[in-house]
A and B are shown apart, each in its own frame.
Chain A
Amino acid sequence: MKITIRPIGPLRRHLEGDSKSVEVTLPDGSTVADALALIGIDSEAQWNASIGGQLVYKDAEVSDGDDLLVFSPIAGG
């Protein structure tokens, strides 16, 4: 299956060049942590992720076509 990973802010350093998202291919049954590992985001590091506006945790399974947003835990504003 294919999903899109969209890091926000400084986490974009895990992408190449100026791109804002990346499409990755994963075997069925893969998790959020598996997907993020593909672009070098460690599952032990501090981040939040969401799919379709819903917060997801590292062990959640991803599905074909998902748009996975990932961002640092943030406060302020």
Chain B
Amino acid sequence: MSNGFMGRTLFVDLANGSLTEETTDESLARDYLGGYGVGVKVLYDRMKPGVDPLGPDAMLGFTSGPLTGTPALTSGRYTVVGKSPLTGTWGDASSGGDFGPYMKFAGYDFVFFTGISEKPVYLLLDEGKASLQDAEHLWGKDTQITDDLLRAEYGRRHTRVSCIGPAGEMQSLISCVMNDKGRAAGRSGLGAVMGSKKLKAIVARGTIKVPMHDAKEATLMRRRWIPRLNEGGDLFHEYGTAGITEGLVAVGDSPVKNWGGSSVDFPTVQNIGGDEVVSEQAKRYGCWRCTIACGGHMKAGPGRAKESHKPEYETLTMAGTNVLNDDLESIIRFNDICNAAGLDTISAGSAVSFAVESYQNEIIGLDDVGFELNWGDGEAVTSLVDLIARREGIGEILADGVKSAAEKLGQGAEEFAVHAGGQELPAHDPKFIPSLSVSYRMDATPGRHTQGGVGWIMGDGVMEDTRPDKYSAEGFGELQIKAAAWVHVANTTGICLFGFNSYNVSFVTEFLETITGAKYTGEELELAGERIGTLRHMFNLREGMNPLEMDFNPRALGKTPQTEGPNEGVTIDDDALVSDYLRALDWDPVTTRPSDSKLEALGLKQTVGAA
């Protein structure tokens, strides 16, 4: 087997409890790198189209990359993959912490589940052996208690846990998969898939070393690279992503007042800015051997979780700026509630701002909610997310995301449901970063900020956007392809996107060569990235999902232009950007099917057949 991989892939049928091992396919790992690259190939080949994502035929994968758990910088990532019950499209969600590396130290690169267990179970990966265990005693427990109990049982030192909380058990479509108590594979609603299978957790215990082509050189390389952090990395080290909130509100990147307002409506952003957040931090921490260490544990305090984690930028905006809430304490509690229940903070925050605006427009009232929902009321934010976490009262409707809630409430509530294809938009505004209007629609996981974009996450040193006008479609398509491809490379090899942005991107290629022994040129990696992106797209086409037909809330695109603030008067011509992207991709402008020659060039002809 290739270096960088443990060589073993596990298939678990939860219906009958059978476990089947296969040798990790070497050519697959080379062509699809790892992570959701291999994930999409396996699901495309082995899962029937049209399955109910919460039904027995749905597959759910836990995937690592060849760099996960190695000396490569920021290499703590793993990715959960499946068909998203929230969007009906391809779904994947990546997370840091330590779990990904430990999955490999326990001996496995990839684990795929199918079927539904009769009783709650967890999968134990233990020094090269796998078994299903009874999880009846864990069902109903929050993610932190689950993590504590399992690590106490198997020994804290070499054991890590990835699990769902009550939100996933109740199949909330905005639930996530949590590991290390504060790290989330947040998006695509994959916690609900795990819940539907009655799979409470995966426990990984192990000390097996990842085989490497040149382990010594990899360690030396790491030492050479660590000091080469750029300014963005410095900022993340000092504050975590909390350090960007004030700046991004000012420039018009952050949503304010459920995407209907602007920085002008939220002059007190300083109260939830980086300095305030860090003043509440007890200790900084990093994922698996990461020296950027953007995470943090918060000081103890009344109403806070026993292990309270530093809120990320996304959380500070979705539960802060987007509801005009400058009460930091309420955001810390919101974050704690989401982490414990296993809820995606982006979607949960979006559900809260949707509810506040629906309340203000008398679509829902005091009788429905039980308390008032006013802009800027931190107390209401935490009370409401608590209901969502428990699926109680109005929380029952909101727990499946804003699209579903708007459909249930009717009365024009869809105007306030800010999503793309059912996925609540993250806190980056296409009016400020126009390429995101394309990423949010055209990536196979709609509404995601982690899939690249021109002028957005491009990797340090991949390319420069020298176009004079960021809103112009001219020359856009080729740049967007490159940006997306490189992000797929980082995501699938197991590298954190913050690391990807914080060091010159050549580190990925260097470590990949030293660790796997395989030589990749930049062009080959780019091609692999495009191959992965395209197969994810083909998965969606096979499901009958054409991204051009997807709902996309017009607010985020400025279809009614804002009358003040940094994005005043801006309307995104997303049709023009998408057309140029389709041209550059050589995808059909109407059906979005890649041309035959494109499929051939990407080596996908055989996989997709005549689909």
> Given A20, A52, A54, A71, which contacts B247 in the complex, CB threshold below 8 Å?
A71
- Contact at B247–A74, with CB atoms within 8 Å? yes
User: Among the listed A48, A54, A74, which residue makes an inter-chain contact with B232, where contact means beta carbons less than 8 Å apart?
Assistant: A74
- With A9-B274, A48-B251, A77-B312 known as contacts, the answer to whether A54 contacts B264 (CB < 8 A) is yes
Nearest CB in chain B: distance from A38 CB, A: 21
Q: Which residues of B contact A75 (CB under 8 A)?
A: 232, 456-457, 501
* Residue numbers in B under 8 Å from A74 (CB-CB): 232, 235, 244, 247-248
Q: Scan residues 250-277 of chain B and give those whose CB is less than 8 A from a CB of chain A.
A: 250-252, 262-264, 266-267, 269, 273-275
| B246, B262, B264, B565, most chain A CB atoms within 10 A | B246
**B246 near A8 (CB under 8 angstroms)?**
yes
A44 to chain B, nearest CB (A): 15
Among A20, A53, A54, A71, point to the contact of B269 (Cβ < 8 A).
A53
B243 in contact with A55 (CB, 8 Å): no
- Which of A50, A74, A75 has most chain B Cβ within 10 Å? A75
Instruction: State which of B231, B267, B427, B501 has its C-beta within 8 Å of the C-beta of A10.
Output: B231
Residues in A neighbouring B498, C-beta threshold 8 A:
76
Contact in complex: A53, B235 (CB < 8 Å): no
Separation of A75 and B428 alpha carbons in the complex (Å): 10
CB-nearest residue of chain A relative to B502? A76
A residues 33-77 in Cβ contact with B at 8 Å: 48, 50, 52-55, 69, 71-72, 74-77
Give the residue of B314, B427, B457, B565 whose beta carbon is less than 8 angstroms from that of A54: B565
CB nearest neighbor in A for B566: A55
Tell me if A54 and B566 are in contact (CB < 8 A): yes
Q: How far is the CA of A2 from the CA of B232 in the complex (A)?
A: 30
Give chain B nearest CB distance to A21 CB in angstroms.
10
Chain A nearest CB, measured from B310 CB (Å): 12
A53 touching B565, Cβ below 8 Å: yes
Q: Is the CB of A77 within 8 A of B314?
A: yes
Kindly provide the distance from the CB of B431 to the nearest chain A CB, expressed in whole angstroms: 12
Residues on A with C-beta less than 8 A from B456 are 75
Which B residues, 267 to 295, have Cβ-Cβ distances below 8 Å to chain A?
A: 267, 269, 273-275
Query: In the assembled complex, which residues on chain A have CB atoms less than 8 Å from the CB atom of B566?
Result: 50, 53-55
Residue from B235, B269, B313, B565 having most chain A Cβ neighbours under 10 A: B235
A-contact 0/1 string along B325-355, CB 8 Å cutoff: 0000000000000000000000000000000
B497 an interface residue at 8 Å Cβ cutoff? yes
Question: Which chain B residues (563-607) contact chain A, with CB distance < 8 Å?
Answer: 565-566
Among B232, B252, B264, B427, max chain A CB count under 10 A is at B232
Residue on B nearest A51 in the bound complex, by CB: B250
A52 with B457, Cβ < 8 A, contacts A72-B231, A75-B232, A76-B232 known: no
Q: In the complex, which residues 1-33 of chain A have their Cβ closer than 8 Å to any Cβ of chain B? A: 8-10, 20
- Which residues of B sit under 8 angstroms from A69, Cβ to Cβ? 246-247, 250
Query: Is there contact, CB below 8 Å, between A10 and B238?
Result: yes
Q: For the complex, is B532 an interface residue (Cβ under 8 Å from A)?
A: no
Interface check B249, CB cutoff 8 A: yes
Tell me the nearest residue of chain B to A71, going by C-beta.
B247
Interchain CA distance A66-B275 in the complex, whole Å = 20
Instruction: Decide yes or no whether B108 CB sits under 8 A from chain A.
Output: no
Proximity string of chain B (483-512) to chain A, C-beta cutoff 8 Å, 1 when within and 0 when not = 000000000000001100100000000000
Partner of A53, one of B263, B274, B457: B263
- Residue picked from B239, B250, B273, B275, most chain A C-beta under 10 Å: B250
Bound-state Cα–Cα, A71 to B235, Å: 10
Is A48 within 8 A of B250, CB to CB?
A: yes
Contacts of A77 in B (CB 8 A): 241, 244, 248, 312-314, 427-428
Q: Bound state CA distance, A75 and B254, in angstroms?
A: 12
Inter-chain pairs besides A8-B246, A77-B312, 4 sampled, C-beta below 8 Å: A9-B238, A53-B267, A53-B269, A77-B428
List 11 A–B pairs whose Cβ atoms lie within 8 Å, in order of A's numbering: A8-B246, A8-B273, A9-B243, A53-B249, A53-B262, A53-B264, A55-B566, A69-B246, A69-B250, A71-B247, A77-B312
Q: A-side interface residues toward B, CB under 8 Å?
A: 8-10, 20, 48, 50, 52-55, 69, 71-72, 74-77
Which 8 A-B pairs have CB atoms at the shortest separation, nearest pair first? A53-B263, A77-B313, A50-B250, A71-B247, A77-B241, A9-B235, A10-B234, A74-B244
